[in-house]
Amino acid sequence: METKIRLYNPSDLTALYDICLKTGDSGKDATEHYDDPKILGHFYAAPYAVLEPNLCFVVTCSGKPCGYILGTQNSEQFYETCENEWFPKLRENYPLPNANNTSKDAHIIRLIHKGHIVNQDLTDYPAHLHIDLLPITQGKGIGRKLMEIFLNKLRELEIPSVHLQVGKSNPGAIQYYEKMGFHIIKEYDKAIAFGMVFS
């Protein structure tokens, strides 16, 4: 199997939705948890690829996308752009669910209507990222290569620092980020915020 890493192409968007879903349960396949297969990608993947494609890198396996890293160089600006250009149409297409709807789809729809809120704990780390890899790519050093490409791009853009959040239910990812040189910014009930400062 030949693997390559390249910059995102708009033709990859459908694959990004699929990868987001198939890694959406703390790195495991979340397909059975969601009725709408695009709902996770609407919030966690697609807006980054569409609005900030220069920071979206795709790994392909024999020519087919099988993982990605994406993010933004300025979280606050990105959130504002999402509010103006991304969420309005989604809110039309996905009305707020009833208060008694406790499905995972409903949870994401509520996030779409709520929009992004700047986390004051992370303002010293303006960039943030998401990385998702299908099992076929894991354990081969591909994640590290993707991360290095993304972090080097931030350095080229003279971004001072970056953050990410990972669920406490994903100990493998926590260990991975620690090995990559990220430090803990803050622990929350269900997640840990990691950061890296570029010297």
Q: Is 99 helix (H, G, I), strand (E, B) or coil?
A: coil
Residue 146 token pair:
């993707």
Predicted TM-score of the model (pTM): 0.94
Nearest Cα residue to 69 out of 59, 60, 57? 57
Quick one: pLDDT at residue 139? 80
Q: What are phi and psi of 9, to 5 degrees?
A: -120, 140
CA angle (142, 146, 150) in 5-degree steps:
170
pLDDT digits (tens, 9 = 90+) for 23-40: 999 889 999 999 999 999
- DSSP output for 100-153: T---HHHHHHHHHHH-----GGGTT--EEEEEEE-GGGTTTTHHHHHHHHHHHH
In this predicted structure, what is the pLDDT of residue 64?
Answer: 95
CA proximity to 183, closest of 194, 172, 191: 194
Reported as a single tens digit per residue, the pLDDT across 46-61 is 999 999 999 999 999 9
Coil, strand or helix: which one is 9?
coil
- 116-174 pLDDT, tens digit per residue, is 999 999 999 999 999 999 999 888 889 999 999 999 999 999 999 999 999 898 888 89
- Cα separation values, 30 from 18, 48, 96, 132, 153, Å: 10, 20, 22, 13, 30
Euclidean distance between the first and final Cα of the chain, in Å? 37
CB 118 within 8 A of CB 59: no
Q: Is 12 exposed, middle or buried (0-12, 13-18, 19+ CB in 10 A)?
A: buried
